[in-house]
Structure 1
Amino acid sequence: MAQTTGRTALRAQGRRAASALGGQQSSGTRHPLVAVAMVLPLAILLSVVFGGWEAVMTQASSVAGMLGH
């Protein structure tokens, strides 16, 4: 009986781990740093390809100046 209970608990734990690794979160939200890490490479690529790097740097310096005051 104890052996069966142990296997059942192990299967349930495995299912929870698999669903967590599958990307389905109960809250449906993503950590902001994960979102930034996902978007930043594409944003940099698009700004370089379309020549908007100077505009991005200007905006970033403006925001940094506002946050510093």
Structure 2
Amino acid sequence: MADTATRTMIRTQGRKATVAFGGRRSGQRHPLVATAMVLPLAALLLFFFGGWDAVVTQASSVGVMLGR
């Protein structure tokens, strides 16, 4: 028979420790925090790979689609 009680106890103890240190149980972060984390990396990738033209083209096409 599988020893599931021990594994369950270990998992719940880990969750309690995470909550005690200020973590969230849901595992989701606020969209603004996620955006703030991604934007610097996106800017670096645009700069190093020269993607400004692609961004302008995509933004223009989205603007045309929204204008219809």
Question: Unaligned stretches of 5+ in structure 1?
Answer: 1-15
- The Cα RMSD (Å) is 2.1
TM-score w.r.t. structure 1 length? Answer: 0.56
Q: How many equivalent pairs are there? A: 50
**1:17-56 to 2 correspondence within 5 Å?**
19-20=21-22, 24-56=23-55
Q: Which is further off, 56-65 or 36-45?
A: 56-65
TM-score w.r.t. structure 2 length? Answer: 0.56
Question: Unaligned stretches of 5+ in structure 2?
Answer: 1-18
In structure 2, what is the Cα distance between the partners aligned to 1:25 and 1:46?
31
The residue type equivalent to 1:37 in the other structure is A
Identity of aligned residues (%): 66
